[in-house]
Amino acid sequence: MIEFISAERCIACDKCIRVCPTNVFDRGEDGIPVLARHTDCQTCFQCEANCPADALYVAPQSYPLPDEPAVRDEDGLDRAGLLGSYRRRIGWGRGRTPGARLAVGPPFNPPDANGTALPITS
């Protein structure tokens, strides 16, 4: 569930507001999004994935975390590398390797019944 918005990092681009499927955010007067409907979050990570400033932290839990300092401490989240960590892991953002290039999946051209690899066609 979305847990933290860094006002320091946020560039007020509205992307998180636009991509959120459950309308969790409102735009604050200063342009920084606010968690207007926190419990509507579906933990889909789309806001964090799309934030160009790595200003968001979505926790993997699908319920709000207790209001303890560790979750609200920007320096701590930063030191732990958690701000924007989902976006980093999927390789979105300038200079990063797209996650699809690292994905493990079935062979692209599996052999046919005779053991011959099928030609790759476009």
Residues that bind ligand SF4 (CB under 6 A): 2, 5, 10-16, 19-22, 24, 33, 41-47, 50-51, 53, 55-56, 58
Dist CA 51 CA 5 (whole Å): 10
Taking the complex as a whole, how short is the minimal distance between the CB of residue 6 and ligand SF4, in angstroms?
A: 7
Taking the complex as a whole, how short is the minimal distance between the CB of residue 82 and ligand SF4, in angstroms?
A: 14
Dist CA 41 CA 8 (whole Å): 22
CA distances from 10 to 5, 24, 66, 97, 114 (A): 8, 17, 24, 23, 57
Taking the complex as a whole, how short is the minimal distance between the CB of residue 121 and ligand SF4, in angstroms?
A: 37
- Cβ proximity to ligand SF4, 22 vs 109, nearer residue: 22
Place of tokens 């926790």: 59
Taking the complex as a whole, how short is the minimal distance between the CB of residue 112 and ligand SF4, in angstroms?
A: 42
Dist CA 2 CA 26 (whole Å): 13
